[in-house]
């Protein structure tokens, strides 16, 4: 639920600020601030408490519009991300944003046009294929009814060369606004899917698996490019049966020929983020990992290898028809 709304003085009159305030029914009910960081970066904020009544900040982004994707996300294309929205309406226990930010407040940078201009410059300076993720710091569709972020960038990417892809990852089923747009060539909606048990235990607030599958089917039917993300894959007693069941359902329910690609990754956390997340859930069994000197915290290598091999076998009916990327 959205709690207090803060608006930077400089963007109060911005048309996008005004439409967002209207959609939130908060046109007269917001707190004026100088810069978003004074709220977002305050010390000693309680992430868990904020998740109940999410503060929302409307601001202007001034720099670092487009950044390279970390190595674990790289494919054959040059990978970048841009974040007009920080943080998420949902509350997945494994979300690494909890380790990355001091605050659960949602920040919307209303100057989308400036992001679009910088993306264009990046593309003009390379001859390689490019992939831009708009969901590294958020869920790309969870707040679409308020932000219209995905709709804006999907349309912008249609003006760019065809070797450019926009990837929007989501665990929501908010596709209503997208279905009003003609299916784009340069954008892919990538739905993260998890077994029912993982959804129920760890993915609070997200759309259930059936709703996500229905959203995929509707988009495919309308001619949209759709991908699937199986990341993070989580290890627990019975994980193999649960993921096998999920893959079988995907194969049965979704048109594999029309699937753009599948992303696969085993649960992992950058070390500094993991320490913060562990403090939020000290007794949570799925966060029990052996001590490690690596940059990323994950399962011991013998378990990871076993998981990868098993998931590759499960995905054979899919990998015959579309590309499977392993992000490990
Ligand atoms: S949907 Fe993604 S961004 Fe949102 S809480 Fe879950 S993991 Fe985090």
C-alpha distances (whole Å) from 228 to each of 18, 70, 71, 89 are 34, 20, 20, 21
E strands present in the chain: 2-8, 31-33, 54-59, 67-68, 78-81, 85-86, 91-92, 106-109, 130-133, 164-170, 187-192, 203-204, 225-233, 259-266, 269-270, 296-297, 323-326
- CA–CA dist 298, 72 (Å, integer): 13
In the beta sheet, which residues pair with residue 30?
Answer: none
Q: Which residues contact 227 (CB under 8 A, 6 or more apart)?
A: 167, 188, 189, 190, 191, 259, 260, 261, 262, 263
- CA–CA dist 139, 133 (Å, integer): 11
- Closest C-alpha to ligand 1, atom 8: 95
- Report the nearest atom of ligand 1 relative to the CA of 138: 3
Give residue 222's pLDDT: 97
- Closest C-alpha to ligand 1, atom 7: 95
Cβ count within 10 A of residue 169: 21
Residue in 141, 171, 172, 193 to alter for ligand 1 test, most ligand atoms within 8 A of Cβ: 171
- b/e map of 34-55 (b: 16 or more CB within 10 Å)? eebeebbeeeebebeebbeebb
- CA–CA dist 82, 69 (Å, integer): 9
pLDDT tens-place string over residues 74-127:
678 999 999 999 999 999 999 999 999 999 999 999 999 999 999 999 999 999
DSSP assignments along 66-92, one per residue: SEEPPGGG--SSEEEE--SEES-SSEE
In contact, 250 and 228? CB cutoff 8 Å: yes
- CA–CA dist 188, 169 (Å, integer): 8
Pocket of ligand 1 from Cβ distances under 6 Å: 88, 90-92, 95, 97, 138-139, 171, 206
Q: What is the 205 CA–ligand 1 centroid distance (Å)?
A: 10
- Report the nearest atom of ligand 1 relative to the CA of 90: 5
Alpha helices in 139-235 (DSSP H): 144-147, 149-157, 196-202, 209-221
| DSSP-based three-state secondary structure for 228 | strand
pLDDT tens-place string over residues 198-226:
999 999 999 999 999 999 999 999 999 99
Tell me, what DSSP letter sits at residue 108?
E
Residue with tokens 């499977």: 324
In the beta sheet, which residues pair with residue 68?
Answer: 80
In contact, 134 and 168? CB cutoff 8 Å: yes
Write phi, then psi, for 221 (nearest 5 degrees).
Answer: -65, -35
Give residue 238's pLDDT: 96
Angle, helices 209-221/239-253, rounded to nearest 10 degrees = 30
Give residue 44's pLDDT: 87
What is the bridge-based pairing of β-strands 259-266 and 67-68?
A: unpaired
Residue in 85, 86, 87, 97 to alter for ligand 1 test, most ligand atoms within 8 A of Cβ: 97
Give residue 296's pLDDT: 87
Q: What is the 126 CA–ligand 1 centroid distance (Å)?
A: 31
Sketch the domain layout of the chain as residue ranges: 2-326
Give residue 72's pLDDT: 60
Q: Which portions of the chain are predicted below pLDDT 50?
A: none
CATH architecture of the domain covering 2-326: Alpha-Beta Horseshoe (3.80)
Q: What is the 91 CA–ligand 1 centroid distance (Å)?
A: 6
Q: What is the 154 CA–ligand 1 centroid distance (Å)?
A: 21
In contact, 157 and 131? CB cutoff 8 Å: no
């Amino acid at each position: 639920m959205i709690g207090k709304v803060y608006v930077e003085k400089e963007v109060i009159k911005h048309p996008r600020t005004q439409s967002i305030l209207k959609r939130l029914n908060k046109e007269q009910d917001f707190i004026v601030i100088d810069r978003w960081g004074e709220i977002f970066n305050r010390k000693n904020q309680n992430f868990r408490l904020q998740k109940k009544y999410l503060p929302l900040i409307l601001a202007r982004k001034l720099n670092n519009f487009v950044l390279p994707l970390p190595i674990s996300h790289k494919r054959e294309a040059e990978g970048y991300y841009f974040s007009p929205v920080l943080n998420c309406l949902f509350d997945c226990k494994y979300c690494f944003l909890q380790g990355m930010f001091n605050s659960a407040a949602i920040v919307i940078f209303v100057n989308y046009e400036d992001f679009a201009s910088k993306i264009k410059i990046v593309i003009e300076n390379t001859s390689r294929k490019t992939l831009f993720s708009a969901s590294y710091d958020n869920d790309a569709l969870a707040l679409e009814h308020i932000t219209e972020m995905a709709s804006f960038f999907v349309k912008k990417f249609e003006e760019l060369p065809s070797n450019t892809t926009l990837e929007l990852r989501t665990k929501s089923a908010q596709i209503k606004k997208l279905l009003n747009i003609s299916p784009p060539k340069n954008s892919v909606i990538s739905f993260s899917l998890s077994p029912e048990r993982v959804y129920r235990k760890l993915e609070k607030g997200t759309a259930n698996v059936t709703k996500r599958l229905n959203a995929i089917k509707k988009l495919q039917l309308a001619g949209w490019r759709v991908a699937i993300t199986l990341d993070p894959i989580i290890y627990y007693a019975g994980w193999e049966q649960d993921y096998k069941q999920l893959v079988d359902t995907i194969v049965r329910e979704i048109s594999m020929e029309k699937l753009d690609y599948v992303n696969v990754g085993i649960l992992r956390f950058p070390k500094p983020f993991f320490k913060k997340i562990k403090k939020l859930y000290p007794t949570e069994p799925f966060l029990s990992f052996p001590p490690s000197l690596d940059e990323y915290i994950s399962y011991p290598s013998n378990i990871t290898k076993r998981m990868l091999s098993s998931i590759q076998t499960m995905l054979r009916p899919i990998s015959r028809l579309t590309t499977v990327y392993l992000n490990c």
